[in-house]
Structures are given as C-alpha cells and as structure tokens.
Structure 1
Amino acid sequence: MATCDVCGKVVNMPYNCRHCGGTFCSEHRLPENHECPGLHNWNDPQGVFDSGFDDSVNSSGSASARSKVASKLPIDTGPGGPLAYFRGNVAYLFLVLMWATFALQFAVRAIDPQLAQSLFVLSSWNVEYVWTWFTSIFAHGGFGHIVGNSFIVFFFGPLVERYVGSRKFAILFLVSGALAGLGQVLISLAQGVPSSVVGASGAGLAILGVLTILNPDLKVYLYFILPIPIWLITAGYAFFSVLSLSTGGAPRIAHGAHLVGLLIGLAYGQYLKNNRNVSAPNRLEFGGGGGGPGGPGGPGGRRRF
C-alpha cells in the first residue's frame, strides 16, 4: 500500500511515474494529472519523450546546430549509439568518470607524484590551475573514500536528475563540486593552514540538499530495515561539519567543502520548490553500507570530501 502524492489517497496498487519518481493513484497516474515536471520537456512532433540529456526537442534551430556538431564527432551520440545508456543517466556517467579518474590518478602518481598533484588535486598553492577545480571532484584519496561518495551519487543522484533533467543535473554536480573545493581551500587559507582537496562530497551534499528540500520526509531504509528521513541524514552531516570546524575536530575531512555543497543544494532545492511543482518518492531502499561523503586525509595535506 502507498499514498498518492497528489490527493493523499491510500491505494493497494500505486502507480510510479518513471519521469518524476512520484507515487500516484489511478486518477493521478498520468503526467498531466499530477503536473509532472517531465511535461516541460514535451514538444516533440514525433512523440518521443526527451531523455533530458539535451534540449533538442525544444528548438528546431538549436537542434539542427547540435546535430551538425554531433555528426562531426568520431562517436555515435544517437539513441542507438554506445553512449545511449547515459542519455538521461548522467549521474551514472559521473560515477564511471569517478572510478576512471581514480584509476588514472593512481597510475600517474606511480610514475610522477608531482604530475598527479598538478593534474588531479586542488590545493592552496595551485588554485590557479583551473582544471583542478573539476578534476579534483572525480579524484579521490583512497578506496574507502570513493566508495562512500559513489554511494551517494548512485542512490541519490538519479532522483535529482529525474526532477531537473540531465543537463541541469550536470551543471549542479560540477558547479557545486568546484565551489565546494574552492570554498574549502579559502577556508583553510583563512585559518592559516594551507590544504588540498579531492573528492565528490561537495557535489554529493548538494544532491542531498536538493532532496531534503523537495521531500524532507523521504525515507531511506538502511539495510531494508531502519527507516531514516533524509532530513536527519543531511542534518547529521551539517551538525558534524559545523562542530568539527568550530572545534578543530576531524581535521582530515574537508568540512568546509561539505557545508558549501550542502548550502548550494539547499538553495537550489528551494528554488525548484518555489518555481516548479516537483514530487519526490516517499522512500528509498538499499542494503549497502559504505559511509557517506568524506574520508580521512591529512592536516595541511590533502583533504577528502
């Protein structure tokens, strides 16, 4: 049994919208009957629902220009091409990039540690290396570190991507990750302790922030048994980060990056809530462990976030 997100009716056989993730009764199961945010993407004379990866169905002129560019690429970017799986699944694409960067990072480090630092690590002494603002998001400090961040991206990323579309999700992920890393570096400089950062926790906390605003009571069933509302998880991260920053505890974790990413996510979630009618599922079940964002690093050294 479940409760309809529109009318609150309890139904034995609910309908789940694959575009917005909501749960509805038979009366509100159609996208137009629950004001599905996916309706904003409808403008396709051939009746093909846009995946959200691009906006080709919204403008014939821009679609033509994009198709010309795509035709010149050495790889098939169409629905039947090798990249078809990632159309509408940018969260999983970023997950793949995280692990690919992680492997490349350690391969380069084995050959030239200084080169690896310059390519993948955002630090107080190379903040002008603009590429590290983004490569540092996908690089990580260890196996446990990337597993924890992958956990967030895999389970929660697709939910946000489903609401906002793949393009906006990609922007949210990259911008929040970059600003979180830069925020951590600036906070460290203000504290007089230069540091460096790697990891996707800033983007991960932004994802949690968006979901917390859209549906603070979203139930996360840990090990399929323990129901925890997502707002409690988010609040726990925020409390731990603020406490650690104020007391100097857990210096190896980039708490500043966590807070910057979370604030971006909360702000964007509030923007969505004020300007779009979005709905979130009532619960999320998974049995995996692995912590959330964050991990050990070193004071004055690389902080993982």
Structure 2
Amino acid sequence: MPYNCRHCGGTFCADHRLPENHDCTGLQDWNDPQGVFDSGFDDSVNGGGGTSKASSLADKIPINTGAGGPLAYFRGNMTYTFLVLMWLTFAAQLVVRAAFDYELMQTLFVLRPYYPEYVWTWVTSVFAHGGLYHIVGNSIVIFFFGPLVERYVGSRNFAILFLVSGALAGLSQIAIQIVELNTITPLTGGVLGASGAALAILGVLTILNPDLKVYLYFILPVPIWVLAGGYAIFSIFFIGTGGGGNVAHMAHLVGLAIGLAYGQYIKQNRNVSAPNRLEFGGGGGPGGPGGRRRF
C-alpha cells in the first residue's frame, strides 16, 4: 500500500514512508542538530550535515517550500485547492460579465479558436464553467475521485495531471473548431470547463482498478471501466457524427486518453493499487463529469 508523505507530497512504499527514509525536502526545516533523522543506512539522507539534491533545488526557490512553509497546506490538498479555484473563477466570470461585458469575460476565461494566442485562457478555461449545473457536475466528480488519485500519485503529480490534461483537452477541442471556422465567427466558438481534467482522473482510476464500484447518479453501482468506456463510445460517436450540441466531446476523449495513459505508466512503474470502493460517505460516487462546454 502506498503512503503519501505530508512533508514533501511524494508517494512511497512502507519502507520509505517516513521523511528520514527518503530525500524529503521537509527535513531541512527540522531542528535536528544531532542528526536524529539519520538512519545510518542511507547516505542520501543527511541528518546534521550536507544537503540532498532535492534540498539544494528547493533552496533555490525564493519561497519556503519546507514542511512548515506557506505551501505546506497544499500537500495532500490539491484536489480541494482546485475545487476552490474553480468556484472562485466561476464567481469572477459572473462579476466580470455583470460589471463589464460578455466579450471581456470570454477574453479572460474562454479558450477560443480565433484567439489561441491568448495563452492565459489555456489555464483559466480549465477553471471557468458555462453555468451552475456545469460546475456542480464537475465539482462532484473531482471531489469524489480526485483525492484517490492524489493519494497514489502525490500532490505535485496530481497538479500536473490536472492542469496538463485540462489544457490539452481544451486545445484539442478548439483544433476541431478551427477546422470548422467557416461556420464560426470571432464572437462564437470556444471551450471551458474542468471535465477534461475530470476525465483524466477517471482514466487513471480505471487503469489502477477497473472494477472499482461507482454509483451512477448515486443509485446504480457500475464498475468504473464501464463508465469510462461509455464516455469514450459516447464521445467518439458524436465526434464522428458532428453532433453533441454544446458538449465538447473531443475534450472529453483527450482527457480520458491522457488519464488512461498516465494510469498505465503508474501501474507499470510503481507497485500501487486503488481501493475496491470509494470511501466517502459509505462508498460510491456519481457517474461522470459534467460536460465541458463549447460556445
């Protein structure tokens, strides 16, 4: 069973779960003049003198990244941090639209095929959403599934997975829209929402434990592989037929593919496994993220 270090955010086996048994960047902040943490068996860990590679790199960052620093809260809590950012971004969308205009809101938060050079929207569009139902659907999925993935890959890798999969999912969607530019004007088209990242999270869990029971709409228990496969088939069908309304099916498919690939990488390179059921409120979570919206 993997263990998550609360000091550096890494994931380790039982033999290396303690900070003194791996290159934990948090050790530099402990008052340990006598080398209490030095096990005597691992030269890579320095109790009183010397620094590890991880520590020397952390020293170059002008922020206290150690166990007691300002970033300590985020280790093990990136899922909830992203959820808060999603809702703050959604509130900012409403404020900007009400106080200024719809065009400014799109410029700040919507990834659009006419303006791919607005690189900030590669990230802001992941946290922005097209409506209350949209953000609630994605929030539920991330809340239930996100902590499981974060626990097994570590907070840093989870943050990278979330941001990269979300951005690439959005870019893949506008790539399709660019092909269709003859029917899209500068004031239409675009994509926003965290469902690409949510599908990536779903994909990781599908590989780690395909039989994980998920309660579809909190009622019907189905294996997570059925849910993931259903989303893949659903997305491929609508991409092929050009339908799907305002749902960004290519973003869903790309996010899921990234999650499946990363899950396979983890499974091949680490000895980890996911639980047989979700452990929130007696187990079970909802089925599938809210659709990533296209405009």
- Rounded to whole Å, the distance in 2 between the matches of 1:262 and 1:40 is 37
Following superposition of structure 1 onto structure 2, how do residues 165-176 of structure 1 map, counting pairs within 5 Å?
165-176=154-165
Could you list the per-position Cα deviations for residues 258-293 of structure 1 after superposition, in whole angstroms to 9, with x for gaps in the alignment? 001111111111111111111111111557987632
| 1:264 paired to 2:258 | yes
1:149 aligned residue (93, 114, 138): 138
What does 1:53-132 correspond to in 2, within 5 Å? 59-66=54-61, 69-71=62-64, 79=67, 84-112=72-100, 113-132=102-121
Overall identity of the aligned pairs, in %: 63
Residues 140 and 57 of structure 1, relative CA distance in 2, 3 Å threshold: farther
* CA distance 1:228–1:39, shift in 2 (3 Å): farther
Residues matched between the structures, number:
259
Aligned to 1:292: 288
Of 245, 268, 272 in structure 1, the residue corresponding to residue 239 of structure 2 is 245
Code of the residue aligned with 1:70 in structure 2: it is I
Whether 1:220 and 2:214 are equivalent positions in the alignment is: yes
> TM-score when scaled to structure 2?
0.77
**Secondary structure of residue in 1 paired with 2:23:** coil
Whole-angstrom distance in 1 between the partners of 2:259 and 2:20: 22
Which residue does 1:211 correspond to in 2?
205
Q: Which moved more, 1:245-254 or 1:163-172?
A: 245-254
1:42 and 2:22 aligned? yes
Instruction: Note if contact 1:101-1:139 (Cα within 8 Å) is conserved in structure 2.
Output: yes
What's the secondary structure of 2:140's corresponding residue? Answer: helix
Match 1:202 to one of 196, 201, 214: 196
Separation in 1 of the partners of 2:18 and 2:164? 23
Residues 244 and 251 in structure 1, CA contact (< 8 A), matched pair in contact too: no
For residues 207-233 of structure 1, the C-alpha deviation after alignment (integer angstroms, 9 at most, x for no partner) is 111111111111124577643111111
In 2, Cα distance between the equivalents of 1:121 and 1:128?
12
Letter in 2 for 1:208: L
Structure 1 residues 226 and 42: alpha-carbon distance in aligned structure 2, compared to 1, 3 A threshold: farther
Separation in 1, partners of 2:149, 2:285: 21
| TM-aligned CA deviation for residue 62 of structure 1 | 1.6
Give RMSD over aligned pairs.
3.2
Counterpart CA distance in 2 for 1:181 and 1:235 is 21
Encode CA deviations 1:111-170: one digit per residue, 9 max, x unaligned: 222211110000111111000000000000001100111112111111111111111111
TM-score by length of 1: 0.74
Q: Is the Cα contact below 8 Å between 2:165 and 2:258 reproduced in 1?
A: yes
User: How far apart are 1:95 and its partner, in Å?
Assistant: 0.6
The structure 2 residue matched to 1:281, chosen from 275, 278, 292, is 275
1:9-28 Cα shifts (integer Å, max 9, x gaps): xxxxxxx87649xxxxxxxx
Shift of 1:256: 0.6
Q: Could you give the per-residue CA deviations for residues 66-91 of structure 1, whole angstroms, max 9, x where no partner exists?
A: 3xx115xxxxx765567643222111
Determine the structure 2 residue equivalent to 1:10. Answer: none
The CA distance in 2 between the partners of 1:80 and 1:138, in whole Å, is 28
Contact 1:151–1:292 under 8 Å retained in 2: no
For structure 1, which runs of at least 5 residues remain unmatched after alignment?
1-15, 21-29, 49-55, 72-76
Deviation at 1:190, TM superposition (A): 2.2
* 1:109 and 1:115 in contact (8 A); partners too: yes
Contact 2:215 2:287 in 1 (8 A): no
What is the CA distance between 1:203 and its match in structure 2? 0.5
> How many angstroms does 1:47 deviate by?
5.4
Shift in Å, 1:252? 0.9
Unmatched 5+ residue regions in structure 2? 6-11, 28-35, 39-50
Residue 41 of structure 2 corresponds to: none
Q: 8 Å contact 2:199–2:289 — kept in the other structure?
A: yes
SS at match of 2:289: coil
Cα distance, 1:189 vs structure 2 = 2.0
Alpha-carbon distance in structure 2 between the residues aligned to 1:61 and 1:188: 45
> Which amino acid is the alignment partner of residue 96 of structure 1?
V
